[in-house]
């Protein structure tokens, strides 16, 4: 499996939680951020920001080009539409790509990650090997990104390495 899976990370990105206020929907949030905010489990992105819907009226916003005081700037842009909380210190993100990436993740995830079910733009808040994760498929049909709380990063990385070694031995 080592040639069929490319693991990069963990990466530390600028991350913020956006929680819409009452009577505010994803369309209003998306209009301010210049992208269609997902209204259900999913991911949308433009050249500067990605939004992953994690619950009704709640998105994880990610950027790898934050600029100074990015969460505060995001909060100012959204104004009274939403509350913004900096999560940059809370999560690490892995990119898992290649033709066997879905098979690798499927070994620990209780959801169907087949391309026909969990295609580009799909997202889920779930567990992998009893570790809470936010998982999404990127535009590359064979690529996933997985956000894990920093406190579980070593456990998740150990699980990944164990699965890759087990697949190599099969």
- The pLDDT tens digits of the residues spanning 105-150 come to 999 999 999 989 999 999 999 999 999 999 999 987 679 999 999 9
Distance separating alpha carbons of residues 155 and 158, to the nearest angstrom: 5
Structure tokens at 21: 């206020």
Structure tokens at 27: 């369309």
- The pLDDT tens digits of the residues spanning 47-88 come to 889 999 999 999 999 998 777 788 999 999 999 999 999 998
Going along the chain from its start, the domains and CATH numbers come out as: 6-10+90-169 (3.30.1360.120), 13-86 (3.30.70.1520)
pTM: 0.90
Distance separating alpha carbons of residues 12 and 90, to the nearest angstrom: 9
């Amino acid at each position: 499996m080592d040639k069929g899976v490319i693991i990069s990370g963990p990466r530390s990105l600028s991350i913020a939680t956006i929680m819409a206020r009452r009577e505010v929907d994803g369309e209003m949030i998306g209009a301010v951020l210049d992208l269609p905010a997902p209204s259900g489990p999913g991911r949308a992105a433009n050249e500067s920001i990605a939004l992953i819907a994690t619950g009704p009226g709640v998105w994880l916003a990610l950027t790898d080009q934050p600029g100074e005081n990015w969460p505060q700037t995001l909060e100012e842009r959204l104004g009274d539409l939403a509350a913004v909380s900096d999560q940059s210190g809370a999560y690490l993100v892995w990119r898992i790509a290649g033709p066997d990436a879905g098979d690798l993740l499927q070994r620990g995830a209780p959801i169907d990650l087949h391309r026909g079910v969990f295609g580009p733009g799909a997202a889920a808040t779930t567990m992998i090997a009893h570790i809470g994760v936010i998982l999404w498929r990127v535009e590359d049909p064979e690529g996933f990104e997985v956000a894990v709380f920093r406190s579980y990063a070593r456990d998740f990385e150990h699980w990944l390495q164990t699965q890759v070694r087990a697949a190599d031995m099969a």
